[in-house]
């Protein structure tokens, strides 16, 4: 046990005992130091594994792609009978051999699935770096860590305590938008357009009630189902109360009960019946004329319609990413998206303010923007003509949602 | 070394697209594996032996080495390296000397079983060996996946076609990763937190993504399992990053006719734990296998919910009069741990105001200590004092623990109150002490058993605020990264955020499935 006396620290050499410390004291320090070494060792091991395997996979993916490009056969699964050599790997007989240490030979990381390079830094928030606008990246991005934003850089409607949007809320949002814009680029298009939200604000969508098939804003869905399915909502209790006190003055109070908001979405003209909604929707009404300059509405339309689509048929809906027997619908989706991209690029140029966070990517074609911006998928508006949802629904959804958009979640 | 090496099932991992054949440059591992069959099988067999030594035996073994110059054997706390080609164990500094002397190039790290290549001067991740290592850590054995059951073999020739799956499925987009928020549909945060904990439960995820519940063939109206299937498809198969509207779950919930949960179905805020029970029972109903049910009832159900969440408790009651012992077994969906008594006891002892408890203390109180009760003894045929002891007979794959923060104070008009006592819970939990195996035998030296009882924290449901006006948020782990889910908001979370939260429900997943 003599050697212990010589040690006043462990392998890491960070936690030191004093020179005149007792033997036990030195041992304690050495043990603690060794434990610290182990913690760091295991962390390094994990990061090393992730990184080295990603690089090795990248080297293999690249050389395989070269091999399949070089071979004549068009079948994707077959192993082409060629020999390809890169700086990092050799392809031969359908096998890939590494050349040297992939940590040294391979600099970037390719997504093994889509073969596109991975973006290695978040685009916003902590540790953000500007992506190279000339590169098409894999759509899986590092998560964003930024206060007030989610992992995709999206923000959300603040759940204020009041009803509807108050004046100061609007101003706050404006400020926030200005700050967000200023952080990114001091672009010439920065001129403040007050009633615009940033492009990536999540708003509340609507969903279809299973029973009555009406389109209900999500924040009200539970209450709606309570009254529609569960028969326990406000109306039910009021009806019961009215029944009980029917003899005396029940009739009178019943008259004053306003028609429930869930009941039959009112036609756009009749919206004035609900004063709360009115207040909130003033903003949108102002620039109703220019459809393209109102991203909020577009977004709503897109999301709402999506939900309707899903709720209708269980079978052939395109939501079945990896499901068997649903492929036709799913593969059709990629075809649909092409016209969308083109469609999108038009409004994108006309609206000047919201795409500020996207500015770094602006010079690239529209397709790239779609790749880079996490939220832009929600922004894609399928051409209204081809939309499978009926116009009546669409209109309903719009009036319902835009009116209550700024109402608190609950 | 390696005298009796049977060369059976020793083979290299077949090449797969996107993966190199060997872990390091063509010079090293490849030479070891392609020299001749004997060298290769010796290397692989010895690697397996080394892994067994590291993971199944006393860690002292792999952590002890003799200096090359000779002298006393000593045990290290920090990693050592086990030579793959002989039996020597050495520390990092001696590798080069050993390699020069014996021309041995490969060394296995003594704590994680990873392979170090002396020529590369780096840890290498060879696909063949790495698969063995992962399987050893994951299941405790090297055996490949079990054989298919008879029911699983379809007699549809179309489905046996190897192209059947690639032809009928498409890869999920790279962006789809299962991380989305769920909109609050009006005081439904108690549902959202449970849904998120299900969505990031690997066992349930694999079940649904493997077509475990075929919503196409499901004839049940407003089936909640179909609704779950939809969510899984949406979360893991679509590129959307906005929130999800769980309309189908909500409507199935409203339409459900489960009498036990009638009180739950309101537009008011509810208890997340009750919703968890509701969802588990409802999914069990929809996925149950009726064939099995006939010969044994609930206990032998092999539905996904039972497979995931259910374990068994054993309570032993000893009559104080005749010393007669009665055993009773019951299955459980979750473990409910009372906090109040323990917190009060602690408060008295230390006098401090908010005592902090450890999860292990609560478990100990419930599953190690005995308590006294009155019980009707069959032998004595009368009411007797008895000692009762409960322990866990069968651990589930996903252990759900409820910390009873909401307690009804009796006598005071049944008013409920919230217990704010902080509970410290670990990222990794050893459940072995609370099992009946640990009660009946000494388990200190059974490292394999300890590994089978090791759980890792997977999801935490947190209640913030007061009893009736609170809000639920949850934390879920995806890989090694924690995320916080607050309705439709998904943010990155630190481990310290998670561990410092006032947990209400804890979901632990077993570390290795054997």
In tens, the pLDDT along B311-326 reads 989 888 888 878 888 8
User: B171 CB near a chain A CB, below 8 Å?
Assistant: yes
Compute the average pLDDT of residues A298-317.
36
In tens, the pLDDT along B116-154 reads 888 888 888 888 888 888 888 877 777 765 544 545 555
3-state DSSP assignment of residue B458: strand
User: B251 CB near a chain A CB, below 8 Å?
Assistant: yes
Residue A329 lies in a domain: no
* In contact, B175 and A140? CB cutoff 8 Å: yes
Query: Which positions in chain A touch B120 (Cβ < 8 Å)?
Result: 101
- pLDDT of B271 reads 85
Tokens of B366: 């419930």
User: B111 CB near a chain A CB, below 8 Å?
Assistant: yes
CB-nearest to B239 from A38, A139, A222 is: A139
Contact assignment for B492 to A151 by CB distance below 8 Å: yes
Query: Which positions in chain B touch A378 (Cβ < 8 Å)?
Result: 240-242
Domain B310-510 CATH (choose: 3.30.360.10, 3.90.70.10, 3.40.50.720, 3.30.1130.10): 3.90.70.10
Indicate if the pLDDT at residue A195 is higher than 90.
no
Residue A324 lies in a domain: no
Contact assignment for B26 to A96 by CB distance below 8 Å: no
Third-level CATH fold of B172-287: Cathepsin B; Chain A (3.90.70)
Partnered with residue B482 across adjacent β-strands are B477, B493
- pLDDT of A93 reads 76
Measured distance CA(B422)–CA(B503) in Å, rounded: 8
Pairing relationship of beta strands B325-332 and B311-319 according to DSSP bridges = antiparallel
Compute the average pLDDT of residues A90-109.
82
Of A96-110, A190-204, A379-393, B489-503, give the lowest mean pLDDT range: A379-393
Max Cα distance, chain B (Å): 82
Query: Which positions in chain A touch B254 (Cβ < 8 Å)?
Result: 225-226, 229-230
In tens, the pLDDT along A131-141 reads 888 888 888 88
Indicate if the pLDDT at residue B206 is higher than 50.
yes
Residues A300 and A393 in one domain: yes
User: B188 CB near a chain A CB, below 8 Å?
Assistant: yes
Of A151-160, A224-233, B257-266, B288-297, give the lowest mean pLDDT range: B288-297
Residues A96 and A169 in one domain: no
Cβ-based contacts under 8 A for chains A and B? 243
Pairing relationship of beta strands B423-424 and B357-358 according to DSSP bridges = parallel
Residues A205 and A310 in one domain: yes
Indicate if the pLDDT at residue A243 is higher than 60.
no
**Domain B29-139 bears CATH identifier 3.40.50.300:** no
Measured distance CA(A179)–CA(A214) in Å, rounded: 39
- A193-211: burial string, b at 16+ Cβ within 10 Å, e else: eebbbbbbbbbbbbbbbbe
Domains contained in chain A, number: 2
Q: Which of A280, A269, A131, A290 is nearest to A219 (CA)?
A: A280
Strand residue runs (E) in B99-235: 106-109, 115-117, 122-124
Pairing relationship of beta strands A155-156 and A201-202 according to DSSP bridges = parallel
Indicate if the pLDDT at residue A376 is higher than 50.
no
- pLDDT of A286 reads 41
Q: Which of A370, A367, A322 is nearest to A113 (CA)?
A: A322
Compute the average pLDDT of residues B259-275.
74
- pLDDT of B40 reads 83
Indicate if the pLDDT at residue B114 is higher than 50.
yes
Query: Which positions in chain B touch A407 (Cβ < 8 Å)?
Result: none
Nearest CA in chain A to B226: A314
Query: Which positions in chain B touch A315 (Cβ < 8 Å)?
Result: 216
User: B176 CB near a chain A CB, below 8 Å?
Assistant: yes
Label each residue of A148-212 as H, E or C. Answer: CCCCCCCEECCCCCCCCCCHHHHHHHHHHHHHHHHHHCCCHHHCCCCCCCCCCEECCCEEECCCC
Query: Which positions in chain B touch A46 (Cβ < 8 Å)?
Result: 480
In Å, how far is A290's CA from the nearest CA of chain B? Answer: 25
- pLDDT of B400 reads 94
Of A382-396, B207-221, B426-440, give the lowest mean pLDDT range: A382-396
* In contact, A273 and A248? CB cutoff 8 Å: no
Residues A231 and A84 in one domain: no
Q: Do domains B172-287 and B310-510 have the same CATH topology?
A: yes
Query: Which positions in chain B touch A98 (Cβ < 8 Å)?
Result: 20, 22-26
User: B490 CB near a chain A CB, below 8 Å?
Assistant: yes
Q: Does the interface ipTM go beyond 0.90?
A: no
- pLDDT of A345 reads 38
Label each residue of B56-97 as H, E or C. Answer: HCCHHHHCEECCCCCCCCEECCCCCEEECCCCCEECHHHHHH
Indicate if the pLDDT at residue A347 is higher than 60.
no
Compute the average pLDDT of residues A155-163.
58
Contact assignment for B267 to A151 by CB distance below 8 Å: no
Residue A15 lies in a domain: yes
- pLDDT of B462 reads 92
- pLDDT of A48 reads 92
User: B119 CB near a chain A CB, below 8 Å?
Assistant: no
Mean pLDDT of chain A: 60
Indicate if the pLDDT at residue A302 is higher than 50.
no
Residues A271 and A386 in one domain: yes
- pLDDT of B349 reads 59
Of A100-104, A319-323, B77-81, B278-282, give the lowest mean pLDDT range: A319-323
CB-nearest to A321 from B76, B176, B242 is: B176
- pLDDT of B460 reads 95
Contact assignment for B125 to A90 by CB distance below 8 Å: no
In tens, the pLDDT along B351-403 reads 555 567 888 888 888 888 888 877 777 777 777 788 888 889 889 999 999 98
- pLDDT of B414 reads 58
User: B158 CB near a chain A CB, below 8 Å?
Assistant: no
Mutation site, B14, B17, B264, interface A, largest A CB count within 10 A: B17
Mutation site, A97, A227, A371, interface B, largest B CB count within 10 A: A97
Q: Residue A388 — very low, low, confident or very high, per pLDDT cuts 50/70/90?
A: very low
Q: Which domain range does residue A383 map to?
A: 155-314+339-345+356-404
In tens, the pLDDT along A31-90 reads 999 999 999 999 999 999 999 888 888 888 888 888 887 776 555 555 666 778 888 888
Q: Cβ–Cβ contacts within 10 Å for residue B480, how many? A: 8
User: B267 CB near a chain A CB, below 8 Å?
Assistant: yes
Residues A218 and A367 in one domain: yes
- pLDDT of B348 reads 62
- pLDDT of A41 reads 93
- pLDDT of B299 reads 53
Domain boundary among A39, A74, A105: A105
Residue A302 lies in a domain: yes
List the domain boundaries for chain B.
29-139, 172-287, 310-510
Residue A218 lies in a domain: yes
Query: Which positions in chain B touch A232 (Cβ < 8 Å)?
Result: 265-267
- pLDDT of A175 reads 55
Residues A209 and A294 in one domain: yes
Determine what percent of chain A is predicted with pLDDT higher than 90.
Answer: 5
Compute the average pLDDT of residues A120-144.
88
Query: Which positions in chain A touch B168 (Cβ < 8 Å)?
Result: 324-325, 327
Contact assignment for B233 to A232 by CB distance below 8 Å: no
CB-nearest to A210 from B124, B183, B251 is: B251
A36-39, long-range: CB within 8 Å, 24+ apart, which pairs? A36/A10, A36/A12, A37/A10, A37/A11, A37/A12, A37/B77, A37/B78, A38/B77, A38/B78, A38/B79, A38/B111
Q: Which residue has the higher pLDDT, A169 or A374?
A: A169
Mutation site, B134, B254, B465, interface A, largest A CB count within 10 A: B254
Contact assignment for A98 to B480 by CB distance below 8 Å: no
In tens, the pLDDT along A264-295 reads 444 444 344 444 444 443 444 444 434 334 44
Q: Which residue has the higher pLDDT, A177 or B417?
A: B417
In tens, the pLDDT along A6-28 reads 567 788 888 888 888 788 888 88
Compute the average pLDDT of residues A102-131.
86
* In contact, B223 and B215? CB cutoff 8 Å: yes
Measured distance CA(B236)–CA(B217) in Å, rounded: 21
Alpha helices (H) along B123-223: 127-139, 157-160, 164-168, 189-199, 202-209
Q: Residue A310 — very low, low, confident or very high, per pLDDT cuts 50/70/90?
A: very low
- pLDDT of A84 reads 80
Tokens of A396: 């309903």
Sign of CA dihedral B278, B282, B285, B287: negative
- pLDDT of B408 reads 66
Compute the average pLDDT of residues A229-258.
51
- pLDDT of A39 reads 92
Residue A150 lies in a domain: no
Contact assignment for A151 to B78 by CB distance below 8 Å: no
Indicate if the pLDDT at residue A332 is higher than 60.
no
User: B478 CB near a chain A CB, below 8 Å?
Assistant: no
Mean pLDDT of chain B: 80
Tokens of A135: 């590169």
Residues A225 and A365 in one domain: yes
């Amino acid at each position: 046990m003599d050697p212990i006396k010589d040690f006043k620290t462990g392998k890491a050499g960070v936690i030191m005992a004093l020179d005149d410390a007792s033997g036990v004291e030195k041992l304690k320090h050495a043990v603690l130091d060794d434990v610290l070494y182990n913690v760091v060792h295991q962390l390094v091991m994990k990061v090393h594994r992730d990184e080295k395997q990603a690089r090795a996979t990248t080297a293999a993916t690249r050389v395989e792609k070269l091999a399949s490009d070089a071979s004549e056969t068009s079948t994707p699964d077959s192993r082409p009978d060629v020999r390809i050599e890169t700086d990092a790997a050799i392809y031969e007989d359908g096998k890939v051999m590494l050349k040297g240490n992939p940590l040294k030979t391979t600099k970037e990381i390719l997504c093994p699935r889509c073969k596109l390079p991975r973006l290695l830094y978040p685009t916003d928030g902590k540790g953000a770096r500007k992506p190279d606008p000339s590169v098409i990246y894999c759509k899986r991005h590092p998560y964003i860590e930024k206060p007030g934003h989610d992992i995709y850089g999206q923000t959300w409607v603040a759940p204020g305590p009041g009803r509807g949007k108050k004046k100061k809320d609007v101003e706050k949002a404006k400020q926030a938008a200005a700050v967000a814009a200023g952080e990114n680029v001091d672009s010439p298009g920065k001129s403040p357009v007050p009633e615009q939200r940033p492009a990536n604000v999540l708003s509340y969508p609507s969903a279809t009630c299973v029973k009555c098939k009406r389109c209900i804003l999500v924040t009200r869905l539970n209450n709606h189902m309570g009254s529609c399915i569960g028969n326990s909502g406000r109306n039910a209790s009021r009806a019961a109360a009215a029944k009980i006190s029917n003899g005396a003055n029940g009739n009178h109070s019943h008259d004053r009960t306003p028609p429930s908001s869930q009941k039959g979405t009112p036609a756009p003209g009749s919206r004035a019946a609900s004063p709360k909604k009115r207040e909130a929707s003033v903003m949108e009404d102002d620039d109703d004329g220019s459809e393209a300059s109102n991203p909020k509405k577009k977004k709503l339309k897109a999301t709402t319609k999506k939900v309707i689509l899903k709720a209708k048929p269980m079978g052939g809906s395109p939501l079945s990413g990896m499901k068997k027997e649903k492929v036709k619908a799913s593969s059709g989706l990629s075809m649909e998206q092409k016209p969308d991209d083109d469609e999108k690029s038009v409004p994108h140029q006309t609206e000047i303010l919201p795409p500020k966070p996207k500015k770094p990517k602006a010079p690239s074609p529209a397709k790239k923007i779609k790749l880079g911006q996490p939220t832009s998928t929600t922004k894609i508006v399928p051409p209204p003509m081809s939309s499978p949802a009926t116009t009546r629904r669409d209109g309903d959804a719009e009036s319902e949602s835009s009116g209550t958009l700024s109402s608190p979640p609950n | 070394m390696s005298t009796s090496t049977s060369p059976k099932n020793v083979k290299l991992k077949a090449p797969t697209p996107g993966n190199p054949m060997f872990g390091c440059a063509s010079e090293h591992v490849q030479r070891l594996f392609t020299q001749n069959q004997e060298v290769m099988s010796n290397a692989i067999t010895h690697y397996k032996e080394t892994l067994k030594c590291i993971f199944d035996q006393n860690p002292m073994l792999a952590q002890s080495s003799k200096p090359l110059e000779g002298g006393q054997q000593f045990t290290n706390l920090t990693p050592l390296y086990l030579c793959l080609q002989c039996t020597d164990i050495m520390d990092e500094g001696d590798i080069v000397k050993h390699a020069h002397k014996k021309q041995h190039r490969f060394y296995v790290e003594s704590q994680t079983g990873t392979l170090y290549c002396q020529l590369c001067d780096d840890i290498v991740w060879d696909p063949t060996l790495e698969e063995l290592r992962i399987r050893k850590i994951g299941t405790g054995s090297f055996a490949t996946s079990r054989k298919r059951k008879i029911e699983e073999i379809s007699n549809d020739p179309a489905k046996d076609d190897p192209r059947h799956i690639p032809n009928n499925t498409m890869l999920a987009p790279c962006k789809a990763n299962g991380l989305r928020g769920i909109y609050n549909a009006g005081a439904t945060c108690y549902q959202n937190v449970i849904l998120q904990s299900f969505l990031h439960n690997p066992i349930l995820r694999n079940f649904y993504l493997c077509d475990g519940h075929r919503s196409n063939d499901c004839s049940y109206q407003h089936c909640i399992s179909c609704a779950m299937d939809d969510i899984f498809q949406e979360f893991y198969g679509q590129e959307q990053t906005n929130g999800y509207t769980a309309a189908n779950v909500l409507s199935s919930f409203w339409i459900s006719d489960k009498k036990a949960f009638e009180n739950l179905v309101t537009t008011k805020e509810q208890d997340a734990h009750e919703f968890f029970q509701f969802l588990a029972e409802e999914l069990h109903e929809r996925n149950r296998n009726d064939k099995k049910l006939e010969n044994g009832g609930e206990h032998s159900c092999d539905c996904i919910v039972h497979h995931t969440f259910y374990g068994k408790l054993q309570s032993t009651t000893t009559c104080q009069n005749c010393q007669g012992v009665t055993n009773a077994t019951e299955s459980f969906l979750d473990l409910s741990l009372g906090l109040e008594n323990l917190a009060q006891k602690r408060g008295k002892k230390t006098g401090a105001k908010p005592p902090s408890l450890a999860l292990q203390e609560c478990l100990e109180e419930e599953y190690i200590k005995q308590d006294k009760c009155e019980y009707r003894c069959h032998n004595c045929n009368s009411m007797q004092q008895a000692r009762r002891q409960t322990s866990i007979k069968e651990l589930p794959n996903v252990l759900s623990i409820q910390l009873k923060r909401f307690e009804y104070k009796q006598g005071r008009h049944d008013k409920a109150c919230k217990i704010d006592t902080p509970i410290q819970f670990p990222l990794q939990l050893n459940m072995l002490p609370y099992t009946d195996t640990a009660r009946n035998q000494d388990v200190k030296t059974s490292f394999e058993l300890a590994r089978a009882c090791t759980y890792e924290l997977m999801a935490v449901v947190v209640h913030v605020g007061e009893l009736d006006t609170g809000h639920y948020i949850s934390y879920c782990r995806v890989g090694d990264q924690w995320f916080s889910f607050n309705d439709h908001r998904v943010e990155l979370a630190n481990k310290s955020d998670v561990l410092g939260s006032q947990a209400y429900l804890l979901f632990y997943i077993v570390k290795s499935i054997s």
